[in-house]
Amino acid sequence: MSGDSSTETPGFAETRIAAAGETWDAVRTNRFLGLQAVERLGSTAGPVIVEPTAVYFLVPAGSTRTWDVPQSTGLSDTHYVVLPAQGKTQPPGPYWLLPPRRPLGNTDDLRRALEAVQGPRPTESNVDLASLTVDQIKGFTYALCGNRLYADRPLGTFTTTEGLCTEPTELWACAPTCSALPPR
């Protein structure tokens, strides 16, 4: 799975810094969503890198140029990824959750898995931004139902011209899917 050595730079502890967009692209997401997506993908997941706060999925080169899934980023031509040492399968530091010898993952399958684990995403018409409470804005209670925050999932960043949400604000909902929002 190693790329052309001219696009890799040695890093610390046998890691390599490799250019995306040549032999593969990557999709970066937070660890919470990424590990759930791996579970949903099962045996069809390609190589997966885990860092303390992020998960990277390796997919075919060029397949992330139009990537638009919330809470994730497609990494292609102008990006670099830290590749763990070839046999590293445990922390500390970046490690291979699924080894680099696997075939690259399918970008469409990954998109579906990430969308599924995020649950329905509200639109501004589903969330009355102007009437959110301080506790909902600060993340102490859920933005959709007002219940106390225990297990959560990000809804995304929202802004409105009135009320408490006039600055870009990350809102949270129940995990699993909040009953205040109808399923997709």
The structure tokens listed for 32 are 């919470």
Number of domains in the chain: 2
Question: Do 157 and 109 share a structural domain?
Answer: no
Question: Do 64 and 12 share a structural domain?
Answer: yes
Question: Do 100 and 34 share a structural domain?
Answer: yes
**What pLDDT was estimated at residue 105?**
97
Does 184 reside within a domain?
no
Question: Do 14 and 62 share a structural domain?
Answer: yes
**What pLDDT was estimated at residue 119?**
74
Whole-angstrom CA distances from 140 to 121, 153, 158, 174 are 19, 13, 17, 12
Question: Do 93 and 148 share a structural domain?
Answer: no
- Print pLDDT tens along the chain (184 aa): 544 455 688 877 889 999 999 999 999 999 989 999 999 999 999 999 999 999 999 999 999 999 999 889 999 998 999 999 989 999 999 999 999 999 999 999 999 999 888 876 655 556 677 777 888 777 777 777 777 766 666 677 777 777 777 777 777 766 655 555 544 4
- Flag whether the pTM goes above 0.75: no
Contact 120, 174 (CB under 8 A): no
Phi-psi region of 89 (alpha: psi -120 to 50; beta: other; left: phi over 0): alpha
Question: Do 41 and 10 share a structural domain?
Answer: yes
**What pLDDT was estimated at residue 184?**
41
Does 183 reside within a domain?
no
Contact 84, 93 (CB under 8 A): yes
Question: Do 15 and 61 share a structural domain?
Answer: yes
Question: Do 96 and 21 share a structural domain?
Answer: yes
Domain carrying residue 138: 129-174
**What pLDDT was estimated at residue 51?**
95
> Which residues touch 16 (CB under 8 Å, ≥6 apart)?
2, 8, 9, 10, 82, 83
**What pLDDT was estimated at residue 120?**
66
